[in-house]
Structure formats: structure tokens, C-alpha cells
Amino acid sequence: MDKFRMMFQFLQSNQESFMNGICGIMALASAQLYSAFEFSCPCIPEYNYAYGIGLLVIPPIWFFLLGFVLNNNVSMLAEEWKRPTGKRVKDPTILRYMFVSITQRSLIAPMVWISVTLMDGKSFLCAFSVNLDIRQFGNYTLIEGMTEVEIVKLLAKIPCKNIFDQPEVISREAASRYITCISQAFGWVFLLLMTLAAFMIRAIRPCFTQAAFLKTKYWSHYVDIERKLFDETCKEHAKTFAKVCIQQYFESISGDMRSFHKHQSSKDDSDGDDDDKKKSDEDKLLGIRDQDDMNKVLWNWHTCKPPLALRKEQPDGESHEGLIPNGDVSGGPNGYANHNAPDLPKREWAVYYSKV
């Protein structure tokens, strides 16, 4: 049980590894689902094509949408796309990078399904058996006496071994092998094209736009990490807020909940521990102790996220960023540009004069 817990924590801490694992599981699930699926071609000219092509197209679409649903970055992408600009400009390249990354992972399971389906050949045989040239595999003398409708109905029965009742007219085994061979050829071509496309995306694209690629990759990781840290901070604040609220409720109802049966020394020690716990709780509350204040903080985070510019406070005697030398008149007070003076601690000086 501990090994599974450690593995789950590792996957949670490594978002990329977690999503790659999900994609791998979906790919294996698609192959296993196809092997467990009972293929039943209707063997009716009006429905063979729809059934065969539907089996080849509809499950990949479902797996593709499922890949978007299981990807945690979809909600992050939607939030980043729809959020107000505020003090932080939205970069379309980051949104495009995130969307392409999600799409690439979501395409793995559909590609596996299409490849397995084409390699098996049953759906392809069901869809295109009526388009087979019967003169290549049939008895020409018997075919001459059949109408066009009868020929189409006979070809539609080729995928169904149990109901095929005219082996003297056409060799079902030869026709099935021919169509299955074509299906497998399409499967290998599909795999080759997908592999080449993946190679072009993964290997060649960063060579031409390496700087832009690194920039978009960095800031997409930043958006993901920022969201996780914000959620963790909110959870920690909510936990501390609930703890303090419950403690104050019981103290107001029951009065002093301490035990007076202990010695005075133990009471002093417990008081010291309580003070330390209260200070720790106060630090975790971050000065927000009211519901309206917390709602305002959350609303401001959504509507106006802080700019991506960190201010570094340096000790006296060192130059500060943004400080204009010689107190340039274009700067703000004390020589700071754009009135962005850092919040330095105020110091008081006492001067003593001697009359000696």
C-alpha cells in the first residue's frame, strides 16, 4: 500500500509523467477494448459501409475527447484563455503551446485504435466488400446469370462466414484475404505517417524556433506551478481558518477549556505551546480573518493577477533596481522610476549634542 501511495505522490508531483502514464493506459485500454469487442457485421448492403466506417471513426473520436476530459491542463488552459487581462498580459503562444501539448497526448489512444482496427481488417472488409470486383474472384459463367442487386447482396455476405451460401459463385476466402491485405497496408502507411509527423513535431520544430520554444515551455510550466501553489495556499488557509473558527466557537460556548488539574509548571508549558500554535496559525492566515476579505482576495486574483515582475529588497548602501542615478527629474520621489519606490523599513535616529 505504501508503494502505491509513493507512486501516486510521484505522479502528482510530476504532471508530465502523470499525463504520459494516463495516455499509455488509454492506449492499452483501446487495444484491449478492441480485442474484447465482438465484431458483428450486418452483412446488408445498406448498412455494411456505415458500420465498418463507424467502427473505424467513432471510437477514436470518443478516445480523443476522453483524453481532453482526463487532462488536468484543459481547465487551466480555459482559465488562462478566458481570464481578464488585468496587470498580466496574455501570451497567445503559451496558450497555443498548451493546446498543442494536450492535443498530442489525446491523439495517442485514437491512433492505437485506428492502427489495431486496420491491422485486423474486419471493419475494412465489412465496409468495402460490396466494392469488390467479383469477376476477379468469381465464376464468370455463373455471374453472367445474376442481376446487379443479387451480386451486391452476395458481396455484402462475404464478411459473414455463417450466412455465406454461394461458395461456387465466388471464393470467399480469396476475397477476404485480398481486402484484409489492403487494410493492413493502409494500417502500416498510417503508422508510418503518424511516426513521421511526431518526428517532425518533436525533433525538427525546436531546431528552428529554439528560443521561442524554450520561452513558451517555461511560461506554460510557470502557469501550471502557479496554479498548484495557489491551490495549496488556499487549502492551507482554509484549513487554518476552519481550525481557528472552531476553536473560537468552543471557547465562546464552553469558556476556558483548559484543565486546571495539572500542576502550575505544566500549565505554563502548555501556555507556551498554545502561544506558539497561535503564532503559527496567525502566520498561516496571512492576515485574512474575514469571509468578505477572503472573497475579495479570490476575486482580485481572478480579475487582476499580479504582474510578472518581482521586487528585490536590498540592504542600504547597495543600488536598487529602478533607482535613477543622481535623482533624475523624470523619476519619482527619492529617484525611483515611475514612482515605484520599494517599501523600505523606516528607521529613527537619535542625535545628541554636547556643549563641552
The answer to whether residue 112 is domain-embedded is yes
pLDDT at 57: 93
Kindly report the pTM of this predicted structure.
0.67
The answer to whether residue 140 is domain-embedded is yes
For residue 23, give every residue at least 6 positions away whose Cβ sits within 8 Å of its Cβ, in sequence order, or none: 67, 105, 106, 108, 109
Burial class (CB in 10 A: 0-12, 13-18, 19+), 206: middle
pLDDT at 71: 82
User: d(Cα 110, Cα 30) in Å, to the nearest integer?
Assistant: 8
Residue 138 forms beta bridges with which residues? 170
Read off the pLDDT of residues 264-301 as tens digits, 9 standing for 90 and up.
444 445 555 666 666 677 777 777 888 888 889 888 88
The answer to whether residue 36 is domain-embedded is yes
Phi, psi of 170 (to 5 degrees): -145, 145
Counted domains in the chain: 1
Range of the domain at 103: 21-209
Length of the chain: 356
The answer to whether residue 148 is domain-embedded is yes
pLDDT at 337: 41
The answer to whether residue 1 is domain-embedded is no
Read off the pLDDT of residues 107-125 as tens digits, 9 standing for 90 and up.
888 998 999 999 999 999 9
Phi, psi of 146 (to 5 degrees): -105, 145
DSSP line for 66-109: HHHHH-THHHHHHHHHHS--TTS---HHHHHHHHHHHHHHHTHH
* Residue ranges in the chain modelled with pLDDT below 70: 1-24, 206, 255-279, 313-356
Q: Are 106 and 72 in contact (CB under 8 A)?
A: no
Residue 323 forms beta bridges with which residues? 336
The answer to whether residue 329 is domain-embedded is no
pLDDT at 118: 93
Q: Are 219 and 94 in contact (CB under 8 A)?
A: yes
User: d(Cα 97, Cα 73) in Å, to the nearest integer?
Assistant: 12
